Amino acid sequence: MKNSKFKTQSSKLRLKSQEPLVLRHSFAPYPLRFEPKRGIALLLVVVLLSALLSISLGIFNVVFGQLKISGEISDSFVAFYAADQGIEKTLYRDRIQGELCTIAPGPNCFVETNIDVQSGGCYTLRLSRVSSSTEIITSGQYRCGANPNRVVKRGFQVDY
């Protein structure tokens, strides 16, 4: 008989344990109820939104880097063509017209700085003539006179 009584009491305890948990605090005017399996939707939404945010930030970082590189490539072409124009002009003046370093040949006998070109760039060149060897070094750049961190430079060196 005692055994049967114990079984009925334990089944009653199981029923009571499946009911929602009620906590009463002195500072709360109403009892707080904690029901199982509630709030999981909010957790899933937060996890999903954080994953989407991290993916979109990664994509933005890649796209922004590619845009920056493509802008630097166009600046590089302007600097490259400015340096090329400086070399061609100097070779023409030296080899065809024969007007450079004829009086006093030596290292750095002819120097020009920040010569503007039509493409928006500029170039700096240095011509050195020692004995029968001539060296021309030109450096083209875009955004002449701008912030040194934003300047793109390309150069050529010709020996003959």
pLDDT tens per residue across span 80-132:
999 999 999 998 988 888 878 877 788 888 888 888 888 888 999 999 988 88
Is the backbone of residue 76 left (phi > 0), alpha (psi -120 to 50) or beta? alpha
pLDDT exceeds cutoff 50 at 15 = no
For the residues 137-153, what does the mean pLDDT come to? 82
pLDDT in tens, 33-61: 656 666 788 889 999 999 999 999 999 99
Task: Look at residue 56 in the predicted model and tell me its pLDDT.
Answer: 97
Q: Read off the amino acid at residue 129.
A: R
Task: Look at residue 2 in the predicted model and tell me its pLDDT.
Answer: 52
Single pTM value for the model = 0.57
Q: Where are the beta strands (DSSP E) in 14-89?
A: 21-23, 32-34
Task: Look at residue 38 in the predicted model and tell me its pLDDT.
Answer: 65
